[in-house]
Every structure is written in structure tokens, then in C-alpha cells.
Amino acid sequence: MGTRVMLKVPLLDLKAQYQSIKNEVDQAVEEVLAEQQFILGPKVQECEDAIAVYSQSRFACGVSSGTDALLISLLNEEIGAGDEVITSAYSFFATAGSIARVGAKPVFVDIDPVTYNLDPEQLEENITSKTKAIIPVHLFGQMAEMGAIQKITQAHGLIVIEDAAQALGAEDGARRAGSIGHYGCLSFFPAKNLGGFGDGGMVLTNDEKRHERLKALRMHGARTKYNHDWLGGNFRLDALQAAIIRVKLKYLDLWIAKRNENAQTYNRLFEAAGLIGAAVTLPARVRDRHTFHQYVIRAINRNALARFLNEKGVGCEIYYPCPLPYQKCFSHLGHKKGAFPESEKAAEETLALPTYPELSEEQMEYVVKTIAEFYQSCAA
């Protein structure tokens, strides 16, 4: 076999993205530095207003992270000890961690194997007299089946907190992620589709009362200085992050379009390489607008493939190797292996490939060629 040039294809290339908008971002940062107003103020307000409009929500409250967005939403409903909150068994840890942090019990539901989102068919059987809320997750950038979920939550009078950390701009019908439930939680973690230069998050809501109280809770529950009506915390979004996010928001639609193009390019390349079915299963685009925060395939012999890709200079990641019910910190809940078969299968089979907007066609060709090479070497 002849030696081949090894292309470097990182999972994500934030330096390339920064270079493409450097002047504008630097100017926004310099404005904050000149003003020296770092805590809330006009930059945070402008960012909140812009994200609310973008997400088709009436209100937005900037907070310290996506995790804190979930936490503060639960606090706002006074959910705590003795309460149950239903969520997906297959997500980033924060989804379930925030439920446990307020003292409530996370109740897990298995996923739909096509979308990787909570299966609404299994929702009703998990509702008890203690159930207060449900947190559907729009995983990998595709929305959960909100219509079916809402039918059930409305019948039972449950609060809906959308975990839209991976799905800003995603759509189901004409509705945007985060605008449908009582709360929509966003994350500006740097690796998200709209990432800040550090941690940040936001809570969307259409209810003015809920919004007013969220704004107090992020400042230790004070509506006016030194008067604490509730027990909150310091959950504020930094003005610096808000200024950067506001600039980057202008490019989000372009980036989402690029991610969708990349997904189509991958689909075409996998098809041409004859890999579909036998070796890999491609991600399904079921809802109207997928943000392709991640392009996730299912792959035979996944762990060996991931190692092979890394050796060949291709970044890839397993989201998530262990379903939430089986995390050590939830062992007291007593979940036995086999109880969440689709989540377990996903944890064993899925692999996220680079899909960031700045990715070149040549890089994607290299990724698929390398995957084909792996399966040829398996067959040999």
C-alpha cells in the first residue's frame, strides 16, 4: 500500500471560526473593556433581546451556563425534595444532574432509536402523583417530538423545560427550539453551535411572571437590591460573553446551513463508498430544521473505528458512552442493565464525526475514505 498524505481533521476548529469574524468580535470585546461594565447592563440586555427574537420567545434571561439554565428553571418552579422530574436516559449529564441538584428524583425514559430523543410513547407510564415536570432534550440539534409530548404534559398539568443546549435555531413545524415549553434552556459553551469565549447560558420563556422571577433568582432572589424574596444564587451571564454571543448570532444561520450541507456531503460520500447498512447507519433528519450540532453515525465495531480514526488524524467523539441511569452518582436509584435498551445500544454504537461549518469537502472525503479503509482492513 502506498503512503498517503495524512490530513488533520479536528472534531471542531474554533480558531478557524474566530479568524473569520475576528474584527467584529474584537471590537465588541473592546467596547466592554472601555465601558468596564461587566455585570448585566446593556450588552446582556441586547443579547437577551436578540436571542429571544431569534428563538421566537417573548423573554430571555442570560445565565451563567446551560447547566444553570436548567437549574434555575427548576428552582423557579420550586421543584425539590419529594418531586419527580422525567427526562431522557441518553443526554449530557447536566440534564439529569440539575434535577438531582435541586433534590428531586430524575425519572428516566428510553429514547427513540432514530432521533435519539426521549420516546413520547414511554412518557405516560412514568408519570406518578409526584411528577412535576419533564425535561425533553433536543439531542444533537434535532428537536424531540414536542407535539406528542405536549399532549401528555398538558393532560397531566406538567411543567415542560426544554433542554435546547444543542438545538438553538432548530425547528419542529414552524416552532423553534426552546419556545414551546414553559422554559427553554440554552448553552453558550464554546463547542456549542453558538459558543461564547467561556461559559454562558440562557432561559427562554413566554411567561412574564416566570421571566421576572428568573431575573431575580439569578441575583440571589432579589428583585431590588438587598431585598431577597427568594433563595437564588449568582447565575448571571457576563457582559463580555453577551457581547461576543451577540456578534456571533448574526452568523448562526449561515453556520447551521453549512452544517446541513456538510451532513448532506457526508451522506453522499458514505453512499458512494457503499458503507451504508453493512457498516454504518447515517443520522436521520426527521424534524424540519436540524442544527447538526453533531453528525452522529452508528458504526459496527465502533470503539476500534474511533481508535483508527484518531490514529489517522481524524477527531471523533462518543456522545455518550454511559446512559444517565447507570452513572455512579445515580446508583442509589437501582437501575439494572437492560432497562433502557435503546439508550444502551446508542451508547455502544454511536460516533460523532467532525461537522463544523469551516470543514472542507476534502476533509470530509478523507474522513469517509479513512472509515472505508478501516472496514476493508476488518474484512481482510
Ligand X SMILES: *Cc1c(COP(=O)(O)O)cnc(C)c1O
Question: Where do contacts with ligand X occur on this chain (CB under 6 A)?
Answer: 65-67, 91-92, 94-95, 137, 163, 165-166, 187, 189, 199, 201
Shortest Å, Cβ 353 to ligand X = 17
* Amino acid making up residue 261: E
> Judging by beta carbons within 10 Å of its beta carbon (0-12, 13-18, 19+), is residue 131 exposed, middle or buried?
buried
Q: Which of 110, 77, 73 is nearest to 91 (CA)?
A: 110
Shortest distance (Å) from residue 21 CB to ligand X: 21
Instruction: Give the other-Cβ count within 10 Å of 148's Cβ.
Output: 14
In whole angstroms, how close is the CB of 187 to ligand X at the nearest point?
3
For ligand X, the closer of residues 104 and 137 by Cβ is: 137
Using alpha carbons, select from 154, 148, 91, 85 the residue that is nearest to residue 117.
Answer: 91
- Compare residues 187 and 281 and give the one whose CB is closer to ligand X: 187
- Shortest Cβ 366–ligand X spacing (Å): 27
Beta-bridged to residue 185, according to DSSP, are: 163, 203
Instruction: Report the side by side order of strands in the sheet with 105-109.
Output: 59-63, 201-205, 183-187, 159-163, 131-135, 84-88, 105-109
Strand partners, 280: 276, 299
In eight-state DSSP terms, residue 110 is: P
| Least CB distance to ligand X at residue 64 (A) | 8
Residue 273 CA to residue 339 CA, distance in Å, equals 36
Q: Does residue 125 contact residue 69 with C-beta atoms inside 8 Å? A: no
Q: Write down the least CB distance from residue 108 to ligand X, Å.
A: 14
Shorter beta-carbon distance to ligand X: residue 144 or 371: 144
Q: Are strands 280-281 and 131-135 parallel, antiparallel or unpaired?
A: unpaired
Residue 288, amino acid: D
Pick 243 or 305: Cβ nearer ligand X:
243
- Residue closer to ligand X by CB (options 245, 297) is 245
Shorter beta-carbon distance to ligand X: residue 92 or 340: 92
Helix (H, G, I), strand (E, B) or coil at 206: coil
Kind of pairing, strands 350-353 and 295-299?
Answer: antiparallel
Minimum Å gap between C-beta 343 and ligand X is 14
Read off the C-alpha cell for 16: 478557524
Choose between 14 and 276: whose C-beta lies nearer to ligand X.
Answer: 14
Closest distance between ligand X and the C-beta of residue 69, in Å?
7
Residue whose Cβ sits closest to ligand X:
66
The whole-angstrom distance between residue 294's C-alpha and the CA centroid of its chain comes to: 9
Q: Which is nearer to ligand X, 59 or 189 (CB)?
A: 189
